[in-house]
A and B are shown apart, each in its own frame.
Chain A
């Protein structure tokens, strides 16, 4: 168990070091998220629809798209110089490689969200201070689920033709449940509703996380097995 965790940490650490040194993926995803937020502001009739009505969907669509762009990068790193083959030759459990990749992807998507959230608050003028702990918890909960699925899918799509298009096509249907739940919960959070009105959605998202992380850990070896 201990060595399993060390492998996962090593895989995640190596990805994070590469990203910190190159900064390409995070930077472009952050710029992308900012652009999506700006476009959303103009994709409405300002005199008819107030920003607060649109805010929850804007937040989550921005996170979903920026997350997708970031995930595309995850296994692209391993494609160059057949790095994935090297990784697979190492006598380590495949599930540990998956969890390492999941951690680094979560770190990247989390970083993008950490920049996009203040921009969202700034552009859309939503008061978040009072609900910040709840909102952050929700963001973590909903992000884990779709990044877990996206990590498995990006390991497959990177080896296909037009992989940048293939990942969204496969992943978007899987984003539907966490996204619906997240938007519903965010709307209630902004409206100051009690927790009892959100707990149902939170349970669905949490169950989604548990089920899909388990399934992904079990199924990932089949993806990379030659």
Chain B
């Protein structure tokens, strides 16, 4: 389907709206984290970063997984909208990765006593971040849109297959990261205030992800529509 300027403007408006809601929810998380949630006994104030760090990690992983899935769909259906979505999702995933990879060390320094450690999760997310930096660099180095879409879809799919291998091999090295406390077999082991704030954090990060992606997607469609009109 060919993009038109008016339809892409509509998408951009949706993106802006969702982003504003997401940012407002993020502000609420800040307030809740500071005023509502109790202090963790051993970690103290440093633990508060958890309400931003974990949701950001969630959005980043969701973003990268969607790139992989949409890449498969692209090679199958060859719809340029799927490629535009994959590009938007990869870019937004990088933004959330930066949040995750900066808030993590800020917490790690007082709690672990080190900014960085070669723990399994840290290594995996860092490699994923670099992989998707490569993905975006590859995109920027190809001029032809169809070729760019095919090549980046190939990297997206291969990247998705790579993740379990990296996970297993870095896990066998050793791991230090706190274990999952919400998505695990038994009930979540968090006080209700902390759990509610964290869940709201997931929601805020997801809405923010959606807002950014829709906005980025709309802008890409707009640029395409403008190109079409010139030709």
CB pair A222–B154 under 8 Å, yes or no, is: yes
Interface 9-mer from A28-36, A119-127, A165-173: A165-173
Give every chain A residue within 8 A of B43 (Cβ-Cβ): none
A12 at the interface (CB under 8 A from B): no
A190 at the interface (CB under 8 A from B): no
Q: Give the distance to chain B from A72, nearest Cβ to Cβ, in Å.
A: 15
A157 to B155, CA, bound (A): 11
A54 at the interface (CB under 8 A from B): no
Give every chain A residue within 8 A of B158 (Cβ-Cβ): 149, 152, 174, 212, 215, 219
Closest to A145 in B: B165
Task: Digitize A201-213: 1 where CB-to-B-CB distance is under 8 Å, 0 elsewhere.
Answer: 1001001100110
Total interface residues on A, CB under 8 Å, equals 32
Closest to A223 in B: B154
Decide if the interface of chain B is mainly helix, strand, loop or mixed. Answer: helix
B170 at the interface (CB under 8 A from A): yes
Known: A159-B142, A160-B141. A174 touches B153 (CB 8 A): no
Q: Give the distance to chain B from A203, nearest Cβ to Cβ, in Å.
A: 10
A35 to B128, CA, bound (A): 31
Partner of B138, one of A170, A174, A180, A212: A170
Closest to B155 in A: A170
Give every chain B residue within 8 A of A201 (Cβ-Cβ): 172
Task: Digitize A167-188: 1 where CB-to-B-CB distance is under 8 Å, 0 elsewhere.
Answer: 0011011101100110010000
Total interface residues on B, CB under 8 Å, equals 29
CB pair B151–A180 under 8 Å, yes or no, is: no
Partner of A166, one of B128, B137, B162: B137
A156 at the interface (CB under 8 A from B): yes
Give every chain A residue within 8 A of B159 (Cβ-Cβ): 173
Give every chain B residue within 8 A of A153 (Cβ-Cβ): 155
CB pair A176–B138 under 8 Å, yes or no, is: no
CB pair B147–A159 under 8 Å, yes or no, is: yes
Task: Digitize B73-111: 1 where CB-to-A-CB distance is under 8 Å, 0 elsewhere.
Answer: 001000000000000000000000000000000000000
Instruction: Give B165-187 interface residues, CB cut-off 8 Å to A.
Output: 165-166, 168-170, 172-173
Give every chain A residue within 8 A of B173 (Cβ-Cβ): 180
Instruction: Give B14-56 interface residues, CB cut-off 8 Å to A.
Output: none
Instruction: Give B109-151 interface residues, CB cut-off 8 Å to A.
Output: 127-128, 130-131, 133-134, 137-138, 141-142, 147, 150-151
A80 at the interface (CB under 8 A from B): no
CB pair B137–A169 under 8 Å, yes or no, is: yes
CB pair A180–B131 under 8 Å, yes or no, is: no
Known: A173-B131, A176-B127, A200-B172. A166 touches B154 (CB 8 A): no
A164 to B169, CA, bound (A): 28
CB pair B169–A162 under 8 Å, yes or no, is: no
Partner of A170, one of B128, B134, B166, B170: B134
Give every chain A residue within 8 A of B169 (Cβ-Cβ): 176-177, 180-181, 204
A222 to B157, CA, bound (A): 12
B223 at the interface (CB under 8 A from A): no
Q: Give the distance to chain B from A14, nearest Cβ to Cβ, in Å.
A: 25
Q: Give the distance to chain A from B19, nearest Cβ to Cβ, in Å.
A: 30
A157 to B137, CA, bound (A): 11
Interface residues of chain A, those whose CB is within 8 Å of chain B, are 149, 152-153, 156-157, 159-162, 166, 169-170, 172-174, 176-177, 180-181, 184, 200-201, 204, 207-208, 211-212, 215, 219, 222-223, 225
Listed by A's residue number, 27 A-B pairs whose Cβ atoms lie within 8 Å are A149-B158, A152-B154, A153-B155, A156-B151, A157-B138, A159-B147, A160-B141, A169-B138, A170-B134, A173-B127, A173-B128, A173-B131, A174-B162, A176-B127, A176-B170, A177-B168, A180-B172, A180-B173, A201-B172, A204-B168, A208-B165, A212-B161, A215-B158, A219-B154, A219-B158, A223-B150, A223-B151
- A173-B127, A177-B165, A225-B150 known, 19 other contacts, Cβ within 8 Å: A157-B138, A160-B138, A162-B141, A166-B134, A169-B133, A173-B130, A173-B134, A173-B159, A173-B162, A176-B127, A177-B162, A177-B169, A180-B170, A212-B158, A222-B75, A222-B150, A223-B150, A223-B151, A223-B154
